[in-house]
Amino acid sequence: MVQSGPAPLRLFIAIPLPRAINLELDHLQYQLAATLPHGAMRWVRPESRHLTLRFLDAVPNLTAQALTAVVNRVAMKSTPFALPLTCLGAFPSPYRTRVLWLGLDDHSGQCLALKQRLERELTGLGLIPEKQRFTPHLTLARARGNKKVEGINWQLKPQPLSLEVGQIQLMASRLTPGGAHYDCLHQSRFGKGVN
């Protein structure tokens, strides 16, 4: 029997969440769960929350070292910025909720600029840029099964908090019977916007 090597890591690049934001997400999830049928949604655990900039999936031809260098270069060219929490949203739509999320207001355009810098660097490694429009959001829950999710209180608003962005992380996702677990492989703090 031929033994195959270890499965390629499922990698992604993300912005971590501070404790205050996680506490607010806990509060929102609690309020939302009270209005929805029990078991309708699978709620994202605090240790699994982050703002995803780019999901890379299994990238057998790329090493963690090459991706770490990308994270470092992007971070060095970035300056800290804030993303205020906004309102609830859903993918693909509020009428067919599969993913329930909390939006982030990128009024300054700095998060989009960060995403574009990252895409340029990843293109240099041979990856094709993502085609879908980037919507900064924090995933709160995913619908269970194919049933229509009804009863979401779309008027629910978060506290007036902002996600302070000052670093990015290279993350690995491990699928287990209990769900996905994430490990930080590398993190890099932002520089001063040097070119």
Q: Examine the residue annotation and report whether 137 is marked as an active-site residue of this protein.
A: yes
CB 53 within 8 A of CB 163: no
Q: Which of 27, 38, 50, 181 is catalytic?
A: 50
Pairwise CA distance, residues 33 & 57, whole Å: 30
Q: Examine the residue annotation and report whether 38 is marked as an active-site residue of this protein.
A: no
Q: Which of 107, 137, 181, 186 is catalytic?
A: 137
CB 114 within 8 A of CB 73: no
- Secondary structure letter of residue 119 according to DSSP: H
Pairwise CA distance, residues 67 & 65, whole Å: 5
Active site residues: 50, 137
